[in-house]
Structure 1
Amino acid sequence: MGAEVPVRSAEDGLAAWRDAVAGVLAKSRRTDRSTLPDRPETLLETTTYDGVTIAPLYGPLDEQPEPPLPGHFPFVRGGDRHRDVHVGWRVAGRYGRDGADAATVNTRMLDGLQNGVSALWLSTGVIGAGGVAEALTGVLLDLAPLTVDAGADLPAVADAVFGVLPAETRVSVSLGATPLTDAVAGVPTVSLEDTVALARRAGADGRGVRAITVDGTVFHDAGAADGQEIGLAVAAGLEYVRALLAAGATAAEALSQLEFRFAATDQQFETIAKFRAARRVWARVAQVLGAPDHGAAPQHAVTSAAMMTQRDPWVNMLRTTLAVFGAGVGGADAVTVLPFDVALPGGAPDVSETFAARIARNTQLLLLEESHLGRVLDPAGGSWYVESLTDATAEAAWTVFQSIERAGGYRAALDSGEIARTVERTRVAREQDIAHRRTSVTGVNEFPNLQEPPVTPGDGTVDGRPVARYAAAFEALRDRGDAVAAERGSRPVVLLAPLGSVAEHNARTTFAANLMASGGIEALNPGANADLTAVATETGSPVAIVCGTDKRYAEEGPAAVRALRDAGVTTVLLAGKSSTFPADTDSAARPDGDLTLSIDAVAELSRILDLLTGTDPAPEGQPA
């Protein structure tokens, strides 16, 4: 027999791993191990905007108690114990938002149902109540769930919907009343009183109609983090329940009239945890109300409008794929994928609406039919990471919910501005991270395509609702660059001044060119060993960026800055830190600013555009 292999405990394994981590970190940071904390892995932790700490590794010591099976309180693993795994989540298609008449909407819905759509989201803003019957002709509402988006016209539209429901047949219809969350978006909406009346009518009808949608996406679109979105949505949901209780409904009846809508982002694990945590938090509310078995409200996931970009919009297809994955694995009952060009007014040039809609639909079908993601309920269940993240997100959401309750409830917090302030803090923090490029938006603040044709600037809305899009600040800079190109025949240009060989300057010339492109500015690189004075004179750009190694800066930096100034360059920037210049360098031979990974890129690029367009010819701190 061979020698026995010693069995290592989880604690021993963790200790060995920490020792290895300490060794790597000490080497990469060029420091002694003794300077590192006892738990060196904390240096690799990240923190979400909800204040949730994400560790670099999860193991048996992070194990959580196993949640109950799907369909059992608190519904973390799903609200439906009988969910058909051959169907998975419902593929919800959006219709009626493009100004089409009722007949065209009907044709498109029937075509969608024949090609993979399994749930309908109908906007009646154009067709009105009078077009509902025609739009739903041939639609089997006992098979295809329907959600209505009618805004202030909902009472009349609801009458029309009730008029076409099959008699004595169970359906899954949501009238989509969203007055409390519409108040955040500032869009026309139905009154709370009419909403309560519709909910009472729907409950009495007994065919499976829900009147109220708690739309958490409005908080997400305004900038909220995941836990904040859940907490605020739950606060709004409780406000609806209170209104229904005051109208004479029981807790069970009131809870049965609500469904939730949440945003799904390309942060797949956070999205998985978000939908699981949202069910846990709402189930707790139902438990406190005395009706725990009615705490499994349906969830409708919509891919985030805030994450969608106008620039390089094709990347949005990848973003929505990750979002669908997260929502589906997280247990959403229905998922809507926004078209990849939804952030572009009128859609992407030379792209038909039917193409964009087909891609949105097929994104889900590929995950369902080819990747079989719907075949297992809660496939992430048991993951040390996902379970820990679910608990932490639920706790963060509950903290937000409690703060709204302490403020007097949802409507009081809305009127006092508490909700707006809560979301605003997160929006500003995220914008700062994007501006400093701590958070990447591919194709926008990282790896932009400067040859991309100009786009029509947006007005800060998506589908008529205000959205704090992550890419907006950088895209506004790109729009400025495109406007200059249209006016002058060429876009703004800065000169790169490389020092040394290609191997020496390539990293920083690439960094500088990528940074400039994210602001709509072309970076001209003359190559190694160029005559900087001649190139600067020929280019005529008032801005140049010196690029090289720290050693080159110490040896040749001052002379390069002088040569550029002598050639008429008024602002010389450095790709790196000017502290690498000799200490005795006079001010005229020092750069006017540093371009490093930590700068506020939006602010700096805006300043450079001002210089290049003559808006700001004498910035503060520039030598005379």
Structure 2
Amino acid sequence: MAIASDPSADPVPEYAAWRKGVAGVLAKARRVEVSELPAEPERLLDVTTYDGLTVAPLYTRRDELPEQPLPGGFPFVRGGDGTRDVRRGWHVAQRFGGPDAAAVNRELLVALDNGVTAVWLGAGERGVPVADLPAALRGMLFDLAPLSLDAGGDAAAVAARIFALLDEYRAAEPADVRIALGATPLTSRFNDTSHTDLDTAVELARQAIARPETIRAITVCGVALHNAGASDAQELGAAIAAGLDYLRALTDAGIDIADALGQLVFRFAATDDQFGTIAKFRAGRRLWARVAEELGAPDFGNAPQHAVTSAAMTTRRDPWVNLLRTTLAAFGAGVGGADLVTVQPFDAALPAGELGVSQAFSQRMARNTQLLLLEESHLGHVQDPGAGSWYVESVTDALAERAWAFLQELEAAGGYTAALTSGLLADRIAAVRTQRESDVAHRKTAVTGVSEFPDLAEKPLSEAARVPSPVARYSAAFEALRDRSDVYLAAHDHRPQALLVPLGTVAEHNVRVTWTGNLLASGGIETINPGPLTGETIAEAAGAAGATLAVLCGSDARYGTDAAAAVEQLRAAGVRTVLLAGPEKAVADLTGAQRPDGFLTARIDAVAALSGLLEKLGA
């Protein structure tokens, strides 16, 4: 391996020394000579995303890209508003809705008094009845707090009622009133939720253009794609493709391209991959600006972005960890330049009251997550704080390219609507979803509190909480195993159990005992650890535990001397399934009754393996 290079020719002279250090560590970890490593050993540390993007372990001046224009200017990568009030930052948006307009109004006004600066309202079939909208919005100052609506198939009726309210509202500057009517005919078709038709959305846009307020009729909801399993580039590319179909419909109806561009809002999911989220929102603006440029209206290529924390990343088990996930997501969306950010309550994946806390508490925690970022960390005081970061700029650039390539694939298939109808879009997203599910199942991707560090002592979920979700939640497969364990617990007063059989000294078995306990707990299997066992005590421990499943835990060397006898002792004690924590090669010479029934390693499909063990244990 040729690590040495000419420092004078390198923009980062220190890079060669760093590379040499990396080579030394990797060689030691892999138990090879440095000369056996590739010429660029740091490439072994690269990570590949679901979009095929390579994330390097270190970014330096080698990765520097030309500086983007200031916020508020084409291509709007650094933000759409160059004069945003730095004392406010982004808008803190909260969703409201329900059939009781008076209760919604009380909740809404309390939230506005306590930090919320934008309202997302479910109306019509998705919340407040159309006739009760004036009561629900009583006291709201429309020129201070933007309003986003979600009315499904009732979008036209809700819009008419909102227009009537605005006719009575006397704003000093009508243009300061910002309303998103929330028509989503194309993206709602993807997840088969009720929606208004495209012709109605076009007519709403025509009405919105004629009004003095700043009203956008159509929301391009990438969240629907994300919740089905889409990667970041797929979410962006498909959303931009849907936006193009909307523009075609609007201009075909005789609407000027500049006015048409002014009728769209984009809504994207924010995840706990903070840098990926930062890049997503920056790349999203760049992509839409490129579309506007191609259509001859580059100055109108700045569409507002509404960030919503991902439902797919949230868990039903150990849901308090969702507070950390949503904090990272809000951070990424805010730093990435989203105009509005909605943090979903940490218990949103559970039925109301499941955890014994009020909805008001959950919403307050969600609201305060953003307020801490804005008012204590002052993240809103700087526009595009990620600008100039070699990593952020590189990922933004690469993600935009991949999303544009996906957009071109959809356009080649006839556009978003055609790709949706043919099944192409669903197939592409399903492929990523399958890969992610495999990564989670093999524990390449960890879900804290579920696939890693699970808490079996937490209160079992109610039957209502175990209903499958239409969202492709990352934790779903492991949580389904835990559901089976809960059912078993209710029937037997204890969870499915496995006996751990530690062999040798603590130093020999402790790592695998800990790892095995964590693995089995992620599937809802409780472990019994009697401490170090020998040939004389193994059968006794198995009999005392009444175990039908046991796992040997020790070093490979210890397996070579003790595994055969231990397996025989366990089988004699009535244990039907004996596993070994470690590779099969550790006991390659064992056969027949001395050979374990299976092997637990870091490379197994943990979901499939745990499901099989639960079945053996009667769950």
Which bracket does the TM-score occupy, shorter chain normalised?
A: over 0.9
- Measure the CA separation in 2 of the matches of 1:190 and 1:113: 30
Report the counterpart of residue 607 of structure 1 in structure 2: 612
Report the counterpart of residue 26 of structure 1 in structure 2: 27
Task: Give the gaps of 5 or more residues in structure 2.
Answer: 1-6
Does the CA contact (< 8 Å) of 1:174 and 1:211 recur in 2?
yes
Code of the residue aligned with 1:80 in structure 2: it is D
Matched, 1:160 2:151: no
Report the counterpart of residue 477 of structure 1 in structure 2: 481
> Which of 231, 234, 239 does residue 245 from structure 2 map onto?
239
**Corresponding residue SS for 2:159:** helix
Does the CA contact (< 8 Å) of 2:352 and 2:359 recur in 1?
no
Matched, 1:142 2:143: yes
- Measure the CA separation in 1 of the matches of 2:235 and 2:294: 21
- Measure the CA separation in 1 of the matches of 2:468 and 2:294: 40
Does the CA contact (< 8 Å) of 1:266 and 1:323 recur in 2?
yes
Instruction: Tell me how far 1:585 sits from its aligned partner.
Output: 2.1
- Measure the CA separation in 2 of the matches of 1:421 and 1:332: 29
Instruction: Tell me how far 1:503 sits from its aligned partner.
Output: 1.9
Instruction: Tell me how far 1:23 sits from its aligned partner.
Output: 1.4
> Which of 347, 352, 355 does residue 346 from structure 1 map onto?
352
Question: C-alpha offsets along residues 540-564 of structure 1, whole Å, 9 cap, x if unaligned?
Answer: 2221100001110011111111111
Question: C-alpha offsets along residues 559-610 of structure 1, whole Å, 9 cap, x if unaligned?
Answer: 11111111111111111012112x4322211111110111100000000000
- Measure the CA separation in 1 of the matches of 2:68 and 2:353: 43
- Measure the CA separation in 2 of the matches of 1:382 and 1:72: 17
1:146-545 matches, within 5 Å, as: 146-165=147-166, 166-167=169-170, 169-170=174-175, 171-456=177-462, 457-461=465-469, 466-529=470-533, 531-545=537-551
Report the counterpart of residue 100 of structure 2 in structure 1: 101
- Measure the CA separation in 2 of the matches of 1:335 and 1:562: 60
Question: C-alpha offsets along residues 137-176 of structure 1, whole Å, 9 cap, x if unaligned?
Answer: 1100011000001000111100011111124622110000
Instruction: Tell me how far 1:9 sits from its aligned partner.
Output: 4.8
Report the counterpart of residue 118 of structure 1 in structure 2: 117
Code of the residue aligned with 2:49 in structure 1: it is T
**Corresponding residue SS for 2:319:** coil
Code of the residue aligned with 1:408 in structure 2: it is G
Question: C-alpha offsets along residues 352-379 of structure 1, whole Å, 9 cap, x if unaligned?
Answer: 0000000000000000000000000000
Instruction: Tell me how far 1:539 sits from its aligned partner.
Output: 1.7
**Corresponding residue SS for 1:300:** strand
Alpha carbon RMSD of aligned pairs, Å? 1.3
Does the CA contact (< 8 Å) of 2:99 and 2:129 recur in 1?
no
**Corresponding residue SS for 1:83:** coil
Code of the residue aligned with 1:587 in structure 2: it is G
Q: Which moved more, 1:339-348 or 1:171-180?
A: 339-348
Tell me the percent identity: 58
Code of the residue aligned with 2:491 in structure 1: it is E
Q: Which moved more, 1:552-561 or 1:15-24?
A: 15-24
Report the counterpart of residue 548 of structure 1 in structure 2: 554
1:31-110 matches, within 5 Å, as: 31-96=32-97, 99-110=98-109
**Corresponding residue SS for 1:497:** strand
**Corresponding residue SS for 1:437:** coil
**Corresponding residue SS for 1:263:** strand
Q: Which moved more, 1:496-505 or 1:312-321?
A: 496-505
Report the counterpart of residue 619 of structure 1 in structure 2: none
Instruction: Tell me how far 1:299 sits from its aligned partner.
Output: 0.3
Does the CA contact (< 8 Å) of 2:71 and 2:383 recur in 1?
yes
Alignment TM-score, normalising by the size of structure 2: 0.96
Does the CA contact (< 8 Å) of 1:460 and 1:468 recur in 2?
no
Does the CA contact (< 8 Å) of 1:237 and 1:258 recur in 2?
yes
Question: C-alpha offsets along residues 78-100 of structure 1, whole Å, 9 cap, x if unaligned?
Answer: 0111111110000001101xx34
- Measure the CA separation in 1 of the matches of 2:150 and 2:20: 57
Instruction: Tell me how far 1:528 sits from its aligned partner.
Output: 1.1
Number of residues of Structure 1 aligned to a counterpart in Structure 2: 602
**Corresponding residue SS for 1:75:** coil
Task: Give the gaps of 5 or more residues in structure 1.
Answer: 1-5, 616-624
